[in-house]
Amino acid sequence: MANHKLTVGTIPLIDGGKIEAQINKAIAQAYDDMDQRPGDKSKRVVSVDIELTPSTDQDGTLDAVAVGFKMDLKIPARRSREYSMMPHRGQKGLVFNDAAPENPRQRTLDQTGE
């Protein structure tokens, strides 16, 4: 194997293409999110950080560089609709009605006798 100068164009040669695959995966995940939620016009952001850490020899001269790649994907938070719940002070919690998510006080037919 030959030595290659690190450039954007040579990243696919690193570690058998694993870095390139991770970048492509992040792009695909951003696309999937846009495809699933096209109404959310927020930006999806794929970031690639190249982290370079120098090490020196005994004389303080640059001897080697540790290079790491950090891929990050930012997508808009997924939100549910809001559900109305009421306090249940005896148990220090919240209660909801699964038959009427908009009204926790709504009674069902099987509760009318209670």
User: If 0-12 CB within 10 Å is exposed, 13-18 middle and 19+ buried, where does residue 4 land?
Assistant: exposed
Query: What does the pLDDT average to over 28-33?
Result: 97
Supply the pLDDT for residue 36. Answer: 96
Supply the pLDDT for residue 107. Answer: 74
Q: How far apart are CA 109 and CA 112, in angstroms?
A: 5
The residue ranges of every structural domain in the chain are 8-74, 83-114
Q: How far apart are CA 39 and CA 28, in angstroms?
A: 18
Supply the pLDDT for residue 75. Answer: 96
Residue pLDDT, tens place only, 35-87: 999 999 999 999 999 999 999 999 999 999 999 999 999 999 988 888 888 88
Exposure class string for 42-74: b at 16+ Cβ within 10 A, else e? eebebeeeeeeeeeeeeeeeeeeeeeebeeeee
Overall pTM > 0.85: no
Q: Which amino acid is at 89?
A: R
